[in-house]
Structure 1
Amino acid sequence: MEIQHFAYSGKLSFREADGEIECVGCQDVINGPAYISEEDNFAMHKVCAEMPPQIQKDAFHPHPLKFKLIDVIVCDACSRLLFSYISYRCMYCDFNIDFRCAKAIINDENNIEKRDDEDLQRTRTLHFCHPHQLTRCKVSPMTEFGEDMIENIWEPNKLKCVACKWKLQDTQTFMCLPCKFIIHESCMNDLPMQVQSSLFHPHHILHPRPFFNAGGEVRCYACRKKVNGFSFYCNKCDVDLHVSCAKYRTRATKHSCHPHNLLQLGKSIIKGISCCACGRKNYNDSLFSCRKCDFNVHPKCIPLPSSFEHKRHLHSLALVSPFAEDDSEDYYCDMCETERNPEIHVYYCVECNYIAHIDCVLSEVRQPQ
């Protein structure tokens, strides 16, 4: 049995699937017979293939909903951001629903309520981080098919939070879909109105600068990577910093290898930066850096004691690569008792799990006897 489906140019045959294949409608794995193309991987469950090209359900939405192919939407039924090969869009207003919710409307309208979490109520708000209204939504976990397709629509690095730069899948967010601006709800709530002092630019207060479709390419002063959508900005020096870079936890250290103070930078900052001593780009290492002079050097490429005894600790301390001793996300220097960044080198005692900032111990080193 063959059919011609409105979402596909060729014929679809009803047969058993050869191996694991995803339905382009609901994006679930197909088990059993389905409508499958003989030419490529286009396949649909029987119940999905029977969905109409247009939906009219006055009790749900007053206007007809027509199918649309290959789009990234925020579903107005379940408040999720997701990629849909087939979605339905209102012919008269800005209303979209994903394929799963459309199928629920056709088969059982109560199923929409089962998919809709209580914390996903549709919310729109204005915030200083963006000039347009932001919509609250949850980013759905994506299948391999969805991830491949979204790269054809958005640049891969666009689907990251503009504040922390972490991925967004299965998290609560606010977004402006036309601008491809997305921020975690938690990051937006924690966003300060200004940064009083950033170690990358300590002399002036940094103010929020939302922008979109900016002329030219804006680069972060700290990590040198492209800034998308929002930055903290010094209008006196014309300096932009990512949110995560402006609030980056680091230490300023004085060393004889350079006349200025050096900042200790970890892997989230140093990608693409070469060591001035050895020339290598080691993303899992850390660097001492002077951003003013563009001077960058690995801790192990400058004269630092690899191990020593310290008057404030019983055992020898050894210089070690960046590490986190557990998954608590709360890491402290045992010497100064302040928060430490797990991305940077430290001095470490393996016998008693004692950890100290490099700059905390350098001024008090005593050589072993």
Structure 2
Amino acid sequence: MDQQSERVKQFCNHPLRYARIKQEGVITGRSNNCDGCGDDSGYGYYCELCNIQAHVACIGWPDIINHPCHSRHPLKKVSPETIDYTDGKCQFCRSPLVDLMYHCSICNFSVDLRCWLNPAPLTIYEQKSHSHTLTLMARKDAFTCNACGLVGDRNPYVCLECDFMLHKGCINLPRVININRHDHKISRTYHLGHGDWECGVCRQKMDWTLGAFFCSRCPNYAVHSKCATREDVWDGKELEDKPEDEGEEDPYKVINEKEIIHFSHEEHNLKLGDDDNAADYEKMWCDACIRPIDSDPFFKCVECKFFLHKVCASLPRKKRNILHSHLLRLQYGDRHGKPFKCTSCLQYFDGFKYKCNFNSACIHMNILFDIRCSSISEPFQHELHPHPLFRTSKEHKTCGACGEDSEYVLSCIVCDFALGMDCATLPRKVKHRCDDHVLSLHHGAGSSNGQLWCDICEGKTDASVWYYGCDECGVTLHIECVLGDMCYLKPGNKYLGGELVPNHGMTRPICIVCEKRCMFPFFLKGIAYSDSTVVYACSRKCAYRGHDRWEEWYSKVHCE
């Protein structure tokens, strides 16, 4: 049938939906074809009540309409390509005008079919937003929203009794919420009050004459409305008239001044380590942060090899963190050599973690953070950058420490610098067998004018990225060479079929995959059950390669 030979008469006044014509189940009990031309391609409008559907071009739209937001003049039906003086966007939804539209040439006012068929309400009364009725005003001059403080270019909801304007999206702002940047609830106000305010999220100056969220317990804390309700900041819960959260769960029970029972190890008591015997535990690792016990105060299981730094034993069971909008809960490792991958720094670890169980999406995505990342707070101070760093946005940025693109970054509000979480959580000081002194993080060439070289792999060291160095010997080392890719896994556990072993022997074993001597702090040691053959993998990267010798050995061992 010729598309121009038959048109569907103007649709009813029922709400219409815009969708693909050929869509199974849109209207049951009928063929999925346009009622005008009979074709099943493209998009159009349909009404389930009247059982009709048609392309935009196949509907006999009225030539002239009256719009309640533009009562001074009628609007005429035109095609966008016939007018060249408009901005090409709908007055209300600001979508590009690509189909038929209704237009007033006197006022240069345009509205697309969707906004004419499904108009926004002309008046709104929302007591939580404003005490008077708000009226939709179609205007083109700029205005400032009293709720969020942002400038809009058209269509506010206006109070005709007082000087009050709102964006459409700000009418239903929550009244009381929790955000991941602050420990207390914050409340919405339409007048922040006199003061030198700075937003607690974006760190920009705030106009005290406009609305925002503020903390009643912290007199100097406030957040822009738009910043406070960002999806990476707010968990979406309205807390007005909601009871306070239940009390904090203690991570351990006190037996006496030197003995506790920790929730992660309830089968045995943990005893505070004695300073006199601290040297006996220098080669032990904390089961929470997977860092050496060293000289830090720690608890030790009285019956097995389980250790916790005192500070790690006191970690809260639940907390909010700047990296995720939902409440996080502390969980301990599964103790079966199954490492986790931190959502922010992307490092594999085997220790305590803060995990999100807020909804099915977070559970499906396995959102979790290791102890290092979940301990980051604002302002974050790093000795290699002179200014404090903040989690100001969720945008990807280039890390100034390694030059790699990162989703989770801390940003400087003074200069153009960003720091990825994997670099922000690097150990500031480390020990390595290649040097007798403590190594520290560095950037730049320092006093050296020549090329820098890594003393471990003997490759070039890029002074534009961070590296480890010795201030006394002048040694420069790649971060990867110093730490490897298994530094957050616990020695003695088994991963990918092999036991994680510290690389501090007199000789370094040869990796079965890359056939080089293992140069990293840890390596995997595997023993075949059939003939007791010992094999080694120098890194997780080597052990995980699907077509290399470690994989073949691992498969052979576990198939026997």
TM range (shorter): 0.3 to 0.5
Higher CA-based Rg: 2
- Asked which structure has the greater RCO (Cα within 8 Å, sep 6+), the reply is 1
TM-score (norm 2): 0.24
